[in-house]
Amino acid sequence: MKKKKLLINIGLVIILIVCMSASVVLAKKDKQRRDKEAKENITLTDIGYETEIGQVGYDTASGILGAFIQAYNEHDGSGVAAIMDQVGLYIYVEESDGDETKFDDKYEEILSSPSDYGDLILMQHSAKSQEDALINSISETNVTLELVENTEIHDVTKYLSKMTAKIRTVSIDDGIDQVDTLGFLLLHRDQSYYIMDYYLADENGNKIENVSTEK
């Protein structure tokens, strides 16, 4: 009789342990589900910086490269600025230190609550200054660009993407006729891509130096 009670007690303890373990696992999964839903439902706020240029995004490499080359050939700095995202570039450089693994969290953290971001005014000033410098430099160019070939867009993280393009640069006045590989760092948001940065790259797309817009 005592042996039977002992076995029953042991069985009850095992059942209790199994139930507690299952409860912990289910609670953990529920928390992960709620955290995932909360992250997916984050509302991102566009941060303005006194620009009159409206952003234009593209969903393909050919679209964004076509707009980029057309604007350069027309010496239209505003056209290049329109397909770029200066706020994203600022967060990538200043807040993520160029670390791709940090960018998504920093981007969501800042744009989900920009009023809580201590360096908001500095960001706005920097974005405006960078945009003005870009527009002025492209208006002074004397080159014609021609697309030779390009890779398709590769999504690196939720918001970061990359592609490369071989572009021929010609300037009769300056005696330039060369083909360079440009790397493009892209912001991916709302099913569209925007250029954050572009630079001279090696065959693997790694940056070798900053590209100059003053050829």
pLDDT in tens, 14-39: 776 766 766 666 656 655 544 444 45
Going by C-alpha positions, the residue among 27, 157, 185, 161 that lies closest to residue 101 is: 157
Contacts of 139 (CB under 8 A, 6+ apart): 75, 76, 77
Which helix (H) or strand (E) is 132 found in, with range?
Answer: helix 120-139
| Residue with more model confidence, 35 or 140 | 140
Confidence of residue 141 (pLDDT cuts 50, 70, 90): confident
Q: Average model confidence (pLDDT) for the chain? A: 86
Confidence of residue 147 (pLDDT cuts 50, 70, 90): very high
Retrieve residue 177's tokens.
């006729």
Q: What global pTM score does this model have? A: 0.78
Retrieve residue 120's tokens.
């908001």
Q: 131-170 as b/e, with b when 16 or more CB fall inside 10 Å? A: beebbeebeebebbbeeeebeebeebeebbbbbbbbbebe
Ranges 28-42, 109-123, 141-155: which has the least confidence: 28-42
